[in-house]
């Protein structure tokens, strides 16, 4: 049996998250349920104008459910083919993909956890957080279930207020769950921004210092992932407690 499956995904909804970023919702054509683990990614395949076939990886931004739908959080990359191809898709369009792949998934048993992301690196963390906190019918889970009442922090970095993705959603999750702490930080926030400023790694020590009993899940571009891994190791963390996914 093949270790992964090929699917045709049909775009059902597309919304803008910022000038260059989109939230895309798909459903897998012809299967009733698409099984994956929160944090995994799919490989998408398309043909360039010269006929060359290319594949690119995209993290699933939605939690696993009982149907065949899933979402992506997509950033347009300048001069990139696949990111723009996906962002330009219209509702009803179809694309081939394979998966799910990856072991950037929650490690049991649940511990207090810091999630760190920049930009669309928030995608797999959104999948994990929704899986931890919200069943499909939207009711909050009791504290003795998936998150087990552990303290969870999301430190996510963007440039300006306009670049924060899923802001209202994470604010709502934090308002509904006293053990979820949402810490968006802006490197170029406006004068009116009341929240944290600077890079994500500047805010990680406030949560992680003296805490070698936690897990960290870090996702985004290599430079940021490296900076945060090195920081956590310098704080005495075991490398096995630091899980990460690099986009480049
Ligand atoms: C496991 C995994 C999961 C990923 N998940 C996501 C996701 O959920 N959302 C998402 O938007 N991207 C994600 N990516 C990145 C994605 O796979 C592509 O690399 C990205 O969309 C660029 O593809 P492209 O074909 O448009 O550009 P390419 O032709 O591949 O690249 C064009 C140029 O841009 C540079 N570049 C490549 N990627 C980036 C980037 N992310 N930011 C800035 N410059 C870049 C390249 O070095 C190159 O010079 C993921 C990558 C991996 C490995």
Protein residue with its CA nearest to atom 48 in ligand 1: 80
pLDDT band at 30 (very low <50, low <70, confident <90, very high): confident
Mind listing the pLDDT tens digit for each residue in 84-97? 999 999 999 999 99
**pLDDT at residue number 141:** 63
What does the alpha-carbon distance between residue 68 and residue 80 come to, in Å, rounded to a whole number?
28
- Please tell me if the CB atom of residue 120 comes closer than 6 angstroms to any atom of ligand 1: yes
- Is the distance from CB of 42 to CB of 57 less than 8 angstroms? yes
Mind listing the pLDDT tens digit for each residue in 48-86? 989 999 999 999 999 999 899 999 999 999 999 999 999
* 242 in the same domain as 120: yes
Average of per-residue pLDDT across 228-238? 97
Count of domains for the chain:
2
pLDDT at 119 over 60: yes
**pLDDT at residue number 1:** 47
- Please tell me if the CB atom of residue 79 comes closer than 6 angstroms to any atom of ligand 1: yes
CATH code, domain with 192: 3.40.50.80
* 125 in the same domain as 12: no
**pLDDT at residue number 137:** 58
* 73 in the same domain as 139: no
Residue 234: Cβ within 10 Å count: 9
Ligand 1: which of 17, 54, 128, 248 to mutate, judged by most atoms within 8 Å of the beta carbon?
248
**pLDDT at residue number 214:** 98
DSSP H or E segment with residue 230: helix 222-234
What does the alpha-carbon distance between residue 74 and residue 222 come to, in Å, rounded to a whole number?
17
pLDDT band at 221 (very low <50, low <70, confident <90, very high): very high
161 is a domain residue: yes
Cα(38) to centroid(ligand 1), Å: 20
Domain termination residue (choose one: 71, 101, 131): 101
- Please tell me if the CB atom of residue 219 comes closer than 6 angstroms to any atom of ligand 1: no
* 62 in the same domain as 121: no
* 162 in the same domain as 47: no
Average of per-residue pLDDT across 30-44? 95
CATH code, domain with 77: 2.40.30.10
* 169 in the same domain as 144: yes
* 144 in the same domain as 179: yes
* 132 in the same domain as 55: no
Cα(61) to centroid(ligand 1), Å: 15
Structural domain containing residue 178: 113-246
Protein residue with its CA nearest to atom 25 in ligand 1: 82
Q: Is residue 143 classed as helix, strand or coil in its secondary structure?
A: coil
**pLDDT at residue number 66:** 86
Q: Which of 125, 129, 69 is nearest to 247 (CA)?
A: 125
Ligand 1: which of 22, 26, 62, 80 to mutate, judged by most atoms within 8 Å of the beta carbon?
80
- Please tell me if the CB atom of residue 131 comes closer than 6 angstroms to any atom of ligand 1: no
* 159 in the same domain as 130: yes
Average of per-residue pLDDT across 188-217? 96
Percent of the chain with pLDDT over 70: 95
Protein residue with its CA nearest to atom 38 in ligand 1: 248
Domain termination residue (choose one: 51, 74, 101): 101
107 is a domain residue: no
pLDDT at 140 over 90: no
- Enter the pTM of the model: 0.95
**pLDDT at residue number 37:** 96
Cα(78) to centroid(ligand 1), Å: 10
Domain termination residue (choose one: 69, 101, 133): 101
* 122 in the same domain as 96: no
- Please tell me if the CB atom of residue 43 comes closer than 6 angstroms to any atom of ligand 1: no
**pLDDT at residue number 145:** 81
* 150 in the same domain as 97: no
């Amino acid at each position: 049996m093949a270790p992964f499956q090929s699917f045709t995904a049909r775009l059902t909804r597309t919304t803008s998250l910022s000038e260059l970023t989109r939230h895309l919702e798909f459903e897998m054509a012809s299967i009733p349920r698409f099984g994956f683990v929160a944090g995994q990614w799919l490989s998408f395949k398309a043909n360039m104008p010269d006929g060359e076939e290319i594949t690119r990886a995209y993290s699933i931004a939605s939690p696993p459910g009982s149907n065949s739908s899933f979402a992506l959080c997509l950033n347009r990359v300048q001069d990139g083919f696949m990111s723009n191809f996906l962002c330009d898709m219209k509702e009803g369009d179809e694309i081939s993909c394979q998966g799910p792949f990856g072991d950037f998934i929650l490690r049991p048993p649940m511990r207090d956890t810091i999630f760190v992301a920049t930009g669309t690196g928030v995608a797999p963390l959104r999948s994990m957080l929704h899986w931890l906190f919200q069943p499909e019918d939207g009711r909050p889970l009791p504290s003795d279930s998936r998150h087990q009442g552990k303290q969870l922090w999301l430190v996510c970095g963007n440039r300006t207020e306009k670049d924060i993705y899923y802001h209202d959603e994470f604010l709502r999750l934090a308002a509904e769950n006293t053990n979820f702490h949402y810490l968006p930080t802006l490197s170029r926030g406006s004068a009116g921004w009341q929240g944290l400023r600077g890079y994500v790694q500047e805010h990680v020590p406030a949560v992680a210092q003296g805490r070698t009993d936690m897990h960290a899940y870090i996702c985004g571009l290599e430079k940021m992932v490296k900076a945060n891994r090195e920081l956590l190791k310098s704080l005495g963390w075991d490398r096995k407690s630091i899980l990460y996914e690099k986009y480049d």
